[in-house]
Amino acid sequence: MNCDESRALWRRGVFVAACACAMSGLLHQAAQARSDSIVWEGDDQSVVLAPQDEDTAPPNDHPVTMAPEDIERMLSSLRFRHSDHEPDTPPVAVFTEEQVEILGQALATGLTRAAPSEDVIFSIIGAHQMSPGAFARRNRLTAGRAFFRDGKLNVIFGEIQSPYRKKNVYGRLDEDFYPREYGSRASPDAQEAVLVASTDMSLRTEPQGQREDWVVFDSPVAGAAPPPQADTIAQHPQAVPSPAEARSPSEPPDAAAVDNPVAGSGDIEQRLETLKRLREKELISEDTYREKVDEILKDL
Amino acid sequence: MSNYAQKNKCATIASAVVAASMLSSNAVAFESMQMGDWDIQITGNINGFLTNTECDPGAGPVAGGLACGSNGQDRDLGNIRTGLLPAFFSFNGKQESENLTTEVMIGFQPGIDGGNQGGITGSPLDGGLGLNSENLRQVFLQFGSDWGKVKIGRDLGLFGSDAILSDMTLLGVGTVSDLTAGGGNTSLGRIGVGYIYADWKGQIQYSSPNWEGFSFNVALVDPWGLVDLSGLSHDAGSFAQQGDTYGIEGKVGYEWKGDEEDTDDLAGKVWASFFTQSLDSAVFGNEDATGFDVGAKVGIAGFEFVAYYYDGEGIGTTGFLFDGVDLSGNARDSDGGYLQATYAVPGPGTKIGVSYGESNLDLGPADPATSTLVETNESIVVGAYHPLTESLNLVLEYTKTEATAHNGNKAEESSIAIGAIIFY
């Protein structure tokens, strides 16, 4: 190839590359909206703002301020059971300790930024022990959507500790083996894992029955804590936990933190006053108020 | 019932139970595991197809033509074979420490039909004690952090990689050709009929971080040798090609994923890449093999469209540096591309696709105008790819391939393939 031919080839190449870059620039502007919706990203994991899954869904009570610690306590209390296990099989924790910490921060941030027409959707990967004391752990995916409505934090799960795998296509591991499901307000798809109700939260009840994928938390007062700064999320380490840091799913969270309706509250009188304020502001139902009062009075 | 019959019956029942459980969508044979500090995955696929191919040689041979019959043989072929995607058995390990992520990957890729001679191309007639072919295509280590990743080893080349990864025949068979008429390790798919094969290359590659969808890669590639597929070109030996000139490949791309929950949201990628290597010869002087490509893939509402174009000198056609240089040592121009449209039917998820592609090779200064050297390899593919489960796809494809020589000779191939591919 002589110099003229070489220069012609390079000019063609530069032109082609310039076209590709120009096209990329135009598309980048269109994708900027997605960038703004990202609350947190880890290694193949994310928490993002997304439109509600149904056009007819009533608007959420967003934006709302919730303390990360309160969300962490709620997530720590979640238990589930595989749908093909016997009902008397002990349920296990949905999230590891590190996942709770990440999601507590990220969901709190997302809820302060979400519009009424948006949910906060999450997909997070954790290493869960195959059995108590086992050396090997399985990487499992949990995904869903969170939103605040009627004074309560709602979380609908599309995946609970589903197998996390990438599909090998011509040596590339870029594609999820199974499409990620983020849960839906509509009737749930067949679930392999079902949530187990506890005293601190309830499963949503619909005419056709209880939703075993949709949990509603009796939330503490919204606005009681300032929102976390966005850069604290960005500085958070990548979320796939090392085995040394991952907590065994069989270890329950602090029981006192689950039963105490207000994180960090002191004596019984303070707890009763807090419950009364929550009821007066109609942030908890009458039934919940009476149930919690009974629990506190039993401690006398 | 005798003990043997009882055991045989039990084994048969057990096998059926295992097979049934494997077909269940709940069955998970290979999970991503964490052992100590390492995340471990075993991944891969196995595929197999029955192909019936009619080869029409036309008036004369097409040297370097990819339609079977280009060698002048009028024949019909039948194979039970691997498609474009070789079977993969890959081990992938990843370790994350405070500041560094390290990764290893090793895989081998067997094919169903190696024929009596074995090897990558196979033979139309299998014979007793024949061995199937296998490749060792992938072995590399990779390390990186927020600043990007460095890969050292053997892996898919950059130039032309997105073209083959976007090709729908990756799940099927595509063009059979005289080259792989016997089955061999794989079929050609759309290799040489729309893009140049990216191939598996020893390389040191840097991958940038992903900046909101933008990323780039650059690689130093093992020196690549000329190949004479047509019989009308120099190969590395006859060209007296020096072996000390590394190749350089690079790629820049932008990818956007759209709303993960909204299939009506636009998603896709655009890319551009290049390759360059000096072809040094003590006899013919120095030439340069240089190529560029650009491509785009966009998807919306179940539709997906791919457009790809490449252009180069000295890079040849079909495979890297295949017929890239004429018998006087001059680089030949080549170009090509393909267009593809697929649609995933809502509900069953069956993907229906059609694609057209062509690759062109110009005459070099020393080639006579009446040369039988291939001028164009082109094909049209129509396929249906139906997911029985998340893992298992059934495939039905029809491919019509034509090879046209500079002197007008034309060969035509018609091939129908039916088979399955399972990912694990």
List domains and CATH numbers for chain B.
35-423 (2.40.160.10)
- Tell whether A24 is covered by a domain: no
Q: Say which of B212, B330, B390 has its CB closest to residue A177.
A: B390
How many Å apart are CA A120 and CA A109, to the nearest integer? Answer: 10
Which pLDDT score, from 0 to 100, does residue B144 have? 95
Inter-chain CB proximity B33 and A139 less than 8 Å: yes
Using CA atoms, how far apart are residues B274 and B286, in angstroms rounded to an integer? 20
- What sign has the CA pseudo-torsion A92, A93, A97, A102? positive
Q: What pLDDT does residue B19 have?
A: 40
Inter-chain contact B155–A171, Cβ cutoff 8 Å? Answer: yes
> Which residue, B195, B166, B175, B164, is CA-closest to B306?
B166
Q: Hey, are the CB atoms on A28 and B213 less than 8 Å from each other?
A: yes
Instruction: Look up the ipTM and state it.
Output: 0.83
| From A20, A136, A177, residue closest to B33, measured CB to CB | A136
Residues A235 and A298 reside in one and the same domain: no
Instruction: Please name which of A128, A102, A104 lies closest in space to residue A41, comparing C-alpha atoms.
Output: A102
Give A288→chain B minimum CA distance, Å. 35
Q: How far apart are CA B372 and CA B230, in angstroms?
A: 9
Tokens of B300: 């919306």
CB A181 within 8 A of CB A158: yes
Q: What is the pLDDT of residues A156-214, one digit of tens each?
A: 999 999 989 899 999 999 888 888 999 999 977 666 788 887 777 888 888 888 889 99
State whether A237 and A277 are in the same domain.
no
Q: Do A240 and B155 touch (CB under 8 A)?
A: no
Per-residue confidence band for A242, with pLDDT thresholds at 50, 70 and 90: very low
Contacts of residue B296 in chain A, CB cutoff 8 Å? 23
Contact list, B313 vs chain A (CB under 8 Å): 1, 5, 9
Confidence band for A220, pLDDT divided at 50, 70 and 90: low
Q: Are residues A144 and A211 in the same domain?
A: yes
A75 and A224 share a domain? yes
| Model confidence at A251: pLDDT above 50 | no
Side-chain half-sphere CA neighbours of A88 within 13 A: 0
Shortest Cα–Cα distance, A110 to chain B (Å): 17
Domain membership flag for residue A18: no
Instruction: Clarify whether residues A271 and A185 are in a common domain.
Output: no
> Is the minimum CB–CB distance between A240 and chain B shorter than 8 Å?
yes
pLDDT classification of A2: cutoffs 50, 70, 90 = low
Same domain as A199, residue A180: yes
CB contact under 8 A, A20 and B170: no
What's at B59, amino acid-wise?
Answer: A
In-domain check, residue A117: yes
Q: Which of A3, A5, A34 to mutate to test the interface with B (most CBs of B within 10 A)?
A: A34
Percent of chain A beyond pLDDT 70? 69
Report chain B residues whose CB lies below 8 A from the CB of A43: 96
Nearest chain B CA: its distance from A121 CA (Å): 10
The answer to whether residue A90 sits within a structural domain is yes
How far the first Cα of chain A sits from its last, in Å, is: 94
Residue range A75-112, pLDDT digits in tens: 999 999 887 777 788 888 999 999 999 999 999 999 99
Nearest to A171 among B88, B309, B314 (CB): B88
* Smallest CA–CA distance from B250 into chain A, residue: A17
Give the pLDDT score at B372.
96
Closest approach of A163 to chain B, Cα-based (Å): 6
Average pLDDT by consecutive 10-residue portion of chain B (424 residues)?
43 40 44 88 94 93 94 89 92 91 93 61 64 81 95 97 96 92 84 96 96 94 95 94 94 84 78 96 92 96 96 96 95 98 94 98 95 97 95 96 97 97 94
A243 and A269 share one domain:
no
Determine, yes or no, domain membership for A167.
yes
Helix, strand and coil in chain A, % to nearest 5: 30, 30, 40
The continuous run of DSSP H or E covering A19 comes out as helix A3-37
Contact between A13 and B251 under an 8 Å Cβ cutoff? The reply is no
Candidate from A163, A238, A240 with C-beta closest to B28: A163
Residue B182 burial (10 A CB sphere; 0-12, 13-18, 19+): buried
Distances (CA, A) of A100 to A97, A145, A154: 5, 15, 16
Distance CA B187, CA B165 (A): 15
Q: Which residue has the higher pLDDT, A258 or B268?
A: B268
pLDDT band of residue A260 (cuts 50, 70, 90) is very low
CB contact under 8 A, A20 and B259: no
A169 touches chain B (CB under 8 A): yes
Residues B32, A163: C-beta atoms closer than 8 Å: yes
Q: How far is B62 from chain A (nearest CA, A)?
A: 26
Q: Say whether both A264 and A157 belong to one domain.
A: no
Name the residue in chain B with its Cα closest to that of A179.
B390
| The two three-digit tokens of residue B189, written as one number | 């798919």
In this prediction, residue A228 carries a pLDDT of: 41
* Helix, strand, coil percent values for chain B (each to nearest 5): 5, 50, 40
**pLDDT of A236:** 35
Q: Any CB–CB contact under 8 A between A34 and chain B?
A: yes
Dihedral Cα B76, B80, B83, B86, nearest 10 deg = -140
Interface test with chain A among B31, B137, B140, B273, by most A beta carbons within 10 Å: B31
- Written as six digits, the tokens of B248 are 């350089």
User: DSSP labels for B42-58?
Assistant: EEEEEEEEEEEEEEE-T
Helices (H) and strands (E) in chain A, counts: 7, 12
CB proximity A239 to B under 8 Å: no
**Are residues A297 and A169 located together in one domain of the fold?**
no
Higher pLDDT, A63 or A248: A63
The rounded distance, in Å, linking the Cα atoms of B89 and B112 is 14
Say which of A6, A127, A180 has its CB closest to residue B260. Answer: A180
Question: Are A168 and B423 inside 8 Å of each other by CB?
Answer: yes
Cβ separation B313–A9 shorter than 8 A:
yes
Q: Which residue has the tokens 């939703």?
A: A211
Whether B39 sits inside 8 A of A28 (CB atoms) is: no
The total of other beta-carbon atoms located within 10 Å of residue A30's CB is: 11
Q: Which one of B33, B138, B254 has the shortest CB-CB distance to A138? A: B33
Is A9 inside a domain boundary? no
The token pair at B102 is: 């390290």
Contact call for residues A54 and A67 (beta carbons, < 8 A)? no
Residues of B in contact with A41 (CB under 8 A): none
Measure B146 CA to nearest chain A CA, in Å.
11
| Contact status of A20 with chain B (Cβ, < 8 Å) | yes
Question: What is the predicted pLDDT for the residue at B375?
Answer: 97
Chain A residue with CA closest to B269: the answer is: A24
Which residues in chain A are contacts of B293 at CB distance < 8 A?
Answer: 16
Tokens of A264: 């960090």
How many structural domains does chain A have?
Answer: 2
pLDDT score of A253? 34
Are A24 and B214 within 8 A, CB to CB? yes
- Taking a contact as any Cβ pair under 8 Å apart, which residues of chain A between 50 and 79 contact chain B? 50-51, 53
Q: What are B119-159's pLDDT values in tens digits?
A: 556 666 666 666 666 778 899 999 999 999 999 999 999 99
CB neighbour list of residue B195: distance below 8 Å, 6 or more residues apart: B160, B163, B164, B167, B293, B308, B310, B336, B337, B338, B357, B359
Q: Which phi and psi angles does B206 have, rounded to 5°?
A: -105, 130
State whether A167 and A245 are in the same domain.
yes
By C-alpha distance, which of B172, B91, B168, B167 is closest to B136? B91
* Residue span of the structural domain in which A195 resides: 37-259
Instruction: Decide if B421 contacts B58 (C-beta within 8 A).
Output: no
Nearest-CA distance A17 → chain B (Å): 6
Residues of A in contact with B309 (CB under 8 A): 16
Distance from CA of A300 to the nearest CA of B (A): 47
Name every chain B residue with its beta carbon within 8 A of the beta carbon of A127.
34
Q: What is the pLDDT of residues B331-354, one digit of tens each?
A: 999 999 999 999 999 989 999 999
The answer to whether position A95 is within a domain reads yes
Residues B371 and B357 sit within 8 Å (Cβ to Cβ): no
Size of interface A-B (CB pairs under 8 A): 154
| Residue A176 and residue A78 share a domain | yes
Long-range contacts of B68-75 (CB under 8 A, 24+ apart): B68/B176, B68/B177, B68/B178, B68/B181, B68/B401, B68/B411, B68/B413, B68/B415, B69/B178, B69/B411, B69/B412, B69/B413, B70/B177, B70/B178, B70/B374, B70/B403, B70/B411, B71/B178, B73/B178, B75/B124
If pLDDT is split at 50, 70 and 90, which confidence band does A273 have? confident
Mean of all residue pLDDT scores within chain A: 76
Joined tokens for residue A237: 């380490």
Q: What would the pLDDT profile of B254-282 be if each residue is shown by its tens digit? A: 998 776 566 667 889 999 999 999 999 98
Q: Which residue of B has its CA nearest to A2?
A: B287
Answer yes or no: do A284 and A202 share one domain.
no
The 8-class DSSP code of residue A85 comes to S
Nearby residues of A121 by Cβ (< 8 Å), 6 or more positions away: A47, A48, A49, A50, A143, A144, A145, A146, A182, B260, B261
With bands split at pLDDT 50, 70 and 90, how would you rate the model's confidence at A35? low
Which residue from A177, A217, A180 is spatially nearest to A197, judged by alpha carbons? A217
Closest residue on chain B to A50 (Cα): B259
Mean pLDDT value across residues A233-257: 35
Give domain status of residue A233, yes or no: yes
Distance CA A31, CA A40 (A): 17
